[in-house]
Structure 1
Amino acid sequence: MAVTDFIVAIELGSTKIIGLAGRKRADGCIQILAHASEHSSDCIRKGVIYNSDKTLQCLTSIIRSLEEQLGASIKKAYVGIGGKSMYSVENRVFRQFNDETKISLALTDSMMKANREMALPDKDILEVVPQEYLIGKELRIDPVGISTDSIEGHYLNIIARRTLKDKIKQCFKLAKCEIAGYIISPVATAEAVLTSDERRSGCALVDLGAETTTVAIYKNNILRHLAVIPLGSNNVTKDISSDKQIDEEDAEELKLRFASAYTEAPKEGEKNDITYSLDDQTSIKAAELEEIVEARIKEIILNVENQIKFSHYSDKLLAGIVITGGGANMPNIDEAFRQTMHSDKVRIAKGSKISLENSEELPNDGTCNTIIGVLSAGKDNCCKIDPTKSAELFSGTGNDLKSQQEMEEERRKQEEEERRKKAEEAKRKEEALRLQKVKECEALLEETRKYLSKNKYDKAQEQLELAIEMNVSEKQEEIDELKKKMSKKPKTFVDKLKDFLEDRANKFSDGANKISKDLLDE
């Protein structure tokens, strides 16, 4: 029987493109329904598509395989996005008020919009992570409702080269598969492997991939820093291949079978005379392999350490370091981190903390943590039922056989239900925003009345102008009434002096004009 309710996730990795389909249960568990992968080392480098044709072939093959396992067509998929050009940039937006003003949702939205307008030539802001808001000398996560005369929003913008997204869009368009949404791969990985305590106390998540190493730093449940280092476990393979002048396939096998990220120094007088061999022609001394591997691993770890220092959170990561990804399978990788970074708090996260069902075919070695996180982040149904293929999707007799009309009706109802839910959600959000604006406008009008009662017309005018800018139709009559009251305000000494000077200036101008006319007449 075909499955007609599922979420699809696709990760474009440097060694493999992985596709996963699953269904979320009410208890939070994800039921894995289909899984497919294709080697991508000849079309994706450091997480970036460089051969669109071969990427399209892999993508098409994965989608076809998932559809065969599901017995249904795929309309769209969630895509994990990463790569060497992705990194985080901090930005701040400041607002100053003439008087104490209550922070509103509309104000924080306008600040977020201003943040997104920061100049980034040839780059896209993939996601914005609000950090805190500085109110006076105090940092707040949620400033709405607080009165202040100034506010400064702190934002973390995750950016990447524009071509990163453009190439993905092109491949999915040619594969005739819509993109349901982009999920930041390191964020998806964090959702899959980090505990709530680690995210709150502060930790550095290090994803050791084949061609890149991603560092994501969390503190107080907020992403604080993100960087992609263009080095990975493949660099170890290339070093072995280059040093020993052997094929990369043999170098990879030597690495997988014999390499260790850290080896205890031999005791005085001891020598390591062991030789590792694949066959009569391919061998390497243990000491040589140790030197090659540890040098590259140390370089990667030092780059990770530099990113942690650059984030200014190196002394705030109480939960230490969490290592995941395919590179985390190298023996003693955790000890290498401990020794190089002088930290005892190092954990290897191979499996996902997300509850899964039917996941026996997924490797439990850290290589699927990102795709599981992407799948977990997906929300919309990705199924597309094609009535012309109903005979292929359903076979048999009696209850197992569905007519094309029934299939079409099922598809129509499903799409209508999705549209209805989206429309209701949009309407609910719109109504909530409208009510919030009405409430905020009413508060401004109340402040205007208060200042008018105290004859503080300048402050009343400021509040009234803010209310007018909100453009709330329900409050237009009250605004007009207050405008009339403002127009009747008694003239101050300054107003009278201004009128007097304007009058004298007009009279002087009239006199000058008369003299000029008389001179011309003569």
Structure 2
Amino acid sequence: MAEIKDFIVAIELGSSKVTGIAGQKKPDGSISVLALVREDSSSFIRKGVVYNIDKTAQCLTSIVKKLETQLKTRITQVFVGVGGQSIRSVKNTIVKDFPGDCIITQEMVVELMDANWGLDYPDKKILDVAEQEYRVDTQLQMDPVGIRANHLEGNFLNILERTSFFQNLNKCFEAANIKVADMYLAPLALANVVLTEAEKRSGCALVDIGADTTTVSVFWKNVLRHLVVIPLGSNNVTKDIASLQMEESDAEKMKLNYGSAYTDNNDIDPEMKYSIDSDRQIEARRFIEIVEARVEEIIENVRYQIPAEYYDKLLGGIILTGGGANMKNIEVAFMKYTHVDKIRVAKFVTATVNSSIEQIRSHNGMYNTVLGLLIKGDINCAGRDIDPNGNLFDEEEHEEQVAPERRPRQIHEIETGTIRTAQEEERAAEEARRKKEAEEAAEEEMRRLQEEEERRKKKEKSLFNRAKKWLEGLAAPEE
């Protein structure tokens, strides 16, 4: 492969694997995947959350170096997906009343958004905010700007993660000396590339079945309405099979070879046995019961996590993706246990993707999230060429690598699904501080003016009373 001067790099940290991908965006909107690297992460990432910073940093360093080897070009920065067990959504409402009818301005809406971002959740960080409807007096509006009213109510869906988990993720990239161009909320990056506009508009639930977690994202009227990560995934099926006294590696093979999310009772041969290895077998019925019990539990948890107010609005149905969605008859099982008739398995992204890499061409849903991160990336990650005669793994850089910088973004320019950088958070905090100081100064000036007015009135009253007494004295009859 010749040296490439322009490409984007994305990294997804999953429970079973860390995946690095590099690709180019073509003028026609298609994506060309140039390199793909994956490494096992089961020893340092659990349920999508980093718990061993050193091992994760080593893995990230290895992935970047392997990508550089394939690309023959240095990587200056990467885009990163944020997901994992602790992510969940919480609704919040901010209300503002006005003294009289006025026309709602963008500044008024921004004030509500700023107030929402300023909320403090103990031990949790707001990663992202999805605007819901605004209530203008008694009417719900998606865009309230320009409407005359005296009451404005902003409804927001705050996406939270435990602060310590988010800090650990950042520490991993710092320890690996890898610059992060942007962090994206992985479930939304995935939704952008596997859901159609019609599905998001009419109402749908995106279910991403991973190794240790299952992520449920509910959309209606093109707006994210609910997001939750369930701590159950396809690995739970493997572990249940392994309880039949076999190694997990053998259980995984059996799951892939024989596993079915649903089997009609009439189709089960009571005499059939499945081979564990050349010496051992297990009754097919027993195996089927174990697999189906765990799959049913996962689906029931998914069903429970879809808010009741949207359950009957899922006209777009349920869309399944991720490695766990490859299990045989998974659609049938979801229909049976959720009572939703419209089930679709998203095996690949909706964008046009070209690649000679077999894992990408297999269209098995396992790389949809990292492809979504790649497609969302918007800054060149390519550095200088690698000298073929030099030492690629020499840690002493003789030339400073300068990563392209994006222009400073205003806080309200940041798209939904993009996590604010530390600098942007600092700028937002500084703006909030200045605004608070200005409000306090205005209140102090108002108090000063009010006190002066009260003193003036007291003085006038005092002079009036003295004059009144003097006049009364003059008018008093002499004895």
TM-score, structure 1 length as denominator? 0.76
Contact preservation (8 Å) 1:259, 1:330: yes
Residue 422 (str. 1) matches residue 420 (str. 2): no
Matches for 1:300-379 after TM superposition, within 5 Å: 300-309=298-307, 312-358=309-355, 360-361=357-358, 362=360, 363-379=362-378
Contact preservation (8 Å) 2:73, 2:384: yes
The higher relative CO (CA closer than 8 Å, separation ≥ 6) is in 2
Contact preservation (8 Å) 1:49, 1:55: yes
Matches for 1:90-489 after TM superposition, within 5 Å: 90-242=91-243, 244-266=244-266, 272-309=270-307, 312-358=309-355, 360-361=357-358, 362=360, 363-385=362-384, 389-390=386-387, 392=389, 422=407
Distance in 2 (alpha carbons) for counterparts of 1:206 and 1:359 = 28
Specify the code of the residue in structure 2 equivalent to 1:11: E
Q: What do residues 197-225 of structure 1 show as CA deviations (whole Å, max 9, x unaligned)?
A: 11111100000111000000011111110
Contact preservation (8 Å) 1:37, 1:62: yes
Alpha carbons of 1:278 and 1:108: their partners in 2 closer, same or farther (altered >3 Å)?
same
Distance in 2 (alpha carbons) for counterparts of 1:15 and 1:61 = 16
Residue 503 (str. 1) matches residue 460 (str. 2): yes
SS at match of 2:296: helix
Residue 23 (str. 1) matches residue 20 (str. 2): no
Distance in 2 (alpha carbons) for counterparts of 1:86 and 1:97 = 35
Q: What do residues 34-71 of structure 1 show as CA deviations (whole Å, max 9, x unaligned)?
A: 11110111111100011222212211111001111111
Alpha carbons of 1:391 and 1:254: their partners in 2 closer, same or farther (altered >3 Å)?
closer
Specify the code of the residue in structure 1 equivalent to 2:257: R
Distance in 2 (alpha carbons) for counterparts of 1:29 and 1:174 = 34
Alpha carbons of 1:510 and 1:209: their partners in 2 closer, same or farther (altered >3 Å)?
farther
Shift, 1:135, TM fit = 0.7
Distance in 2 (alpha carbons) for counterparts of 1:107 and 1:390 = 55
Distance in 1 (alpha carbons) for counterparts of 2:21 and 2:382 = 13
Distance in 2 (alpha carbons) for counterparts of 1:279 and 1:6 = 45
Specify the code of the residue in structure 1 equivalent to 2:60: L
Contact preservation (8 Å) 2:269, 2:284: no
Distance in 1 (alpha carbons) for counterparts of 2:376 and 2:24 = 12
Specify the code of the residue in structure 2 equivalent to 1:15: S
Alpha carbons of 1:92 and 1:266: their partners in 2 closer, same or farther (altered >3 Å)?
same
Distance in 1 (alpha carbons) for counterparts of 2:458 and 2:60 = 78
Contact preservation (8 Å) 1:202, 1:218: yes
Distance in 2 (alpha carbons) for counterparts of 1:126 and 1:26 = 32
**Contiguous gaps of at least 5 residues in structure 2:** 391-398, 414-437, 440-454, 470-479
Residue 10 (str. 1) matches residue 7 (str. 2): no
Shift, 1:226, TM fit = 0.2
Shift, 1:502, TM fit = 5.9
Specify the code of the residue in structure 2 equivalent to 1:302: E
SS at match of 1:234: helix
- Structure (1 or 2) with the larger CA radius of gyration: 1
Shift, 1:255, TM fit = 0.9
**Contiguous gaps of at least 5 residues in structure 1:** 394-406, 430-468, 471-497, 513-522
Distance in 1 (alpha carbons) for counterparts of 2:162 and 2:146 = 37
Equivalent residue, structure 2, for 1:401: none
SS at match of 1:281: coil
Distance in 1 (alpha carbons) for counterparts of 2:376 and 2:456 = 65
Distance in 2 (alpha carbons) for counterparts of 1:78 and 1:115 = 26
Equivalent residue, structure 1, for 2:53: 52
Alpha carbons of 1:501 and 1:272: their partners in 2 closer, same or farther (altered >3 Å)?
same
Alpha carbons of 1:167 and 1:392: their partners in 2 closer, same or farther (altered >3 Å)?
farther
Distance in 1 (alpha carbons) for counterparts of 2:313 and 2:68 = 46
Distance in 1 (alpha carbons) for counterparts of 2:208 and 2:275 = 30
Q: Bigger CA drift: 499-508 or 160-169? A: 499-508
Shift, 1:8, TM fit = 0.8
Contact preservation (8 Å) 1:81, 1:183: yes
SS at match of 1:131: strand
Alpha carbons of 1:287 and 1:508: their partners in 2 closer, same or farther (altered >3 Å)?
same
Matches for 1:511-522 after TM superposition, within 5 Å: none
- In proportion to residue count, which structure has more helix? 1
Contact preservation (8 Å) 1:207, 1:324: yes
Shift, 1:306, TM fit = 0.5
Alpha carbons of 1:499 and 1:230: their partners in 2 closer, same or farther (altered >3 Å)?
same
Specify the code of the residue in structure 1 equivalent to 2:461: R
Shift, 1:254, TM fit = 1.1
Q: What do residues 246-280 of structure 1 show as CA deviations (whole Å, max 9, x unaligned)?
A: 1111111111111110011228xx85220000324
Shift, 1:165, TM fit = 1.6
Distance in 2 (alpha carbons) for counterparts of 1:190 and 1:274 = 41
Aligned-residue Cα RMSD (Å) equals: 2.9
Specify the code of the residue in structure 2 equivalent to 1:273: E
Alpha carbons of 1:91 and 1:509: their partners in 2 closer, same or farther (altered >3 Å)?
farther
Equivalent residue, structure 1, for 2:449: none
SS at match of 2:314: coil
How many residues align structurally?
A: 422
Distance in 2 (alpha carbons) for counterparts of 1:215 and 1:371 = 17
Specify the code of the residue in structure 1 equivalent to 2:276: L
Distance in 1 (alpha carbons) for counterparts of 2:163 and 2:222 = 28
Equivalent residue, structure 1, for 2:445: none
SS at match of 2:266: coil
Specify the code of the residue in structure 1 equivalent to 2:207: V
Equivalent residue, structure 2, for 1:432: none
SS at match of 1:64: helix
Contact preservation (8 Å) 2:83, 2:186: yes
Q: What do residues 454-481 of structure 1 show as CA deviations (whole Å, max 9, x unaligned)?
A: xxxxxxxxxxxxxxx89xxxxxxxxxxx
Alpha carbons of 1:170 and 1:501: their partners in 2 closer, same or farther (altered >3 Å)?
closer
Contact preservation (8 Å) 1:48, 1:84: yes
Distance in 1 (alpha carbons) for counterparts of 2:254 and 2:269 = 21
Specify the code of the residue in structure 2 equivalent to 1:284: I
Specify the code of the residue in structure 2 equivalent to 1:285: E
Contact preservation (8 Å) 1:250, 1:282: no
Specify the code of the residue in structure 2 equivalent to 1:307: Q
SS at match of 2:192: helix
Shift, 1:154, TM fit = 0.7
